[in-house]
Amino acid sequence: MSHPALPTARNARTRHRALGYLTLAALLLPTTAACTSGDTDTPPKPATAAGSAATPHVTGPLCAALPTGTDPGNPAFLAGQPVDAALQWIPTLTTFEAALRTTGLLTELDTTDGITLLAPSDDAFAAKFSDDNWDELMARHHDDLRALLKAHLITGTHPLDELTDAGTTTTADGTTITVTRTPDTARFADRAEAVCGDYQATNARIHIVNAVLGTLPTTADGNGHRAH
C-alpha cells in the first residue's frame, strides 16, 4: 500500500511564502482601489486656489464691462489671489478698496478664513456721499467708516445662490438683511442689487452691488464723482 509523499521542508516553505504573498495582496487591494478610480493612466485635474477645477462663473449686467477671458484681472486669475490683491484688480471697486485699506479692515480680511463682500461700486459711493463728506470720513471718522464697511461683510464664503436660498443673512455690523432673487442676480435689504456677483478670491466671495448699505445718511447732491 502506497502513501502520498510527505511534503519536504522546502516545499512547505514555498507554500507558506505563496500564501503570504496572497494575503498581502488581499490586504493591499482595498487600499489601492480606494486611491484610484477609472483610468489609472489619467492624472487628476489640478484644482484652482479657490478649490475648484472649473473657472469661476461671474454673473450680472456689469460683468461684460469688466475683465474677462485672458485679460488682466479676469475671474480665473482673481480666484488665485488673496482678497486685498483681488480688489485692486477690479476697476470699479477703487473707492471700496481704499476705504477698507484706510480703516485697516483690508489687513484683517486677509487673515480671515472666509469672508463675503457686498462691494459697492464707485458709482454707488458717488451716489451716496458728497465729495466733502466722503473726504471727511476717510480723513477723520474712521470709526463711522468701519461701521459702514462692516455692513457689507458677511462671515463665510457664500455664492449668490446660497444667499438667496437662505433668504436672509447677517452682516458683520450685526444687521440681518433680506436677500431676494432677481431675474439676473440678487437684491440685498431691498436697496442694493448685485450687478456682478460670484467673484472668488482665495479666502473670499465678492459680489459687486450698485448701492451702499449701512445707516449713514446720504449727503450726495447728485453731482458727486469719486470714480477713480
Secondary structure (H, E, C), the chain: CCCCCCCCHHHHHHHHHHHHHHHHHHHHHHHHHHHCCCCCCCCCCCCCCCCCCCCCCCECCCHHHCCCCCCCCCHHHHCCCCHHHHHHHCCCCHHHHHHHHHHCHHHHHHCCCCEEEEEECHHHHHHHCCHHHHHHHHHHCHHHHHHHHHCCEEECCCCHHHHHHHCEEECCCCCEEEEEECCCCEEECCCEEEEEEEEEECCEEEEEECCCCCCCCCCCCCCCCCCC
Q: What is the mean pLDDT of the chain?
A: 82
Task: Give the pLDDT score at 110.
Answer: 86
pLDDT, tens digit, for every residue of 206-224?
999 999 999 999 999 876 5
Arithmetic mean of pLDDT, 114-137: 97
CATH number of the domain where residue 93 is located: 2.30.180.10
130 pLDDT above the threshold of 70: yes
Neighbour tally for 51: CB within 10 Å: 10
Burial of 181 (0-12, 13-18, 19+ CB in 10 A): middle
Question: Domain tally for the chain?
Answer: 1
Compute the chain's Rg from CA coordinates.
Answer: 29
Higher-pLDDT residue of 147 and 47 is: 147
Q: Is residue 52 part of a domain?
A: no
pTM for the structure as a whole:
0.75
Tell whether 7 is covered by a domain. no
Instruction: Over range 80-89, report the average pLDDT.
Output: 96
Q: Check whether 137 has a pLDDT greater than 60.
A: yes
* Residue 228, in any domain of the structure: no
Q: Which range (6-10, 41-45, 104-108, 154-158) has the least confidence?
A: 41-45
pLDDT at 47: 37
Closest CA to 67 of 55, 83, 54, 78: 78
pLDDT at residue 111 in the model: 86
Domain with 68 in it: 63-209
Across 144-169, average pLDDT: 98
- Dist CA 92 CA 69 (whole Å): 18
Q: Check if the beta carbon of residue 116 is closer than 8 Å to that of residue 157.
A: yes
pLDDT at 131: 96
Q: Note whether residue 28 is domain-resident.
A: no
Tens digit of each residue's pLDDT (9 = 90 or more) over 174-200: 999 999 999 999 999 999 999 999 999
The answer to the question of residue 76 being in a domain is: yes
Asked if residue 74 is part of any domain, the answer here is yes
| Domain assignment of residue 30, yes or no | no
Q: What is the number of alpha carbons within 13 Å of residue 19 lying toward its C-beta?
A: 6
Q: Report if residue 71 sits inside a domain.
A: yes
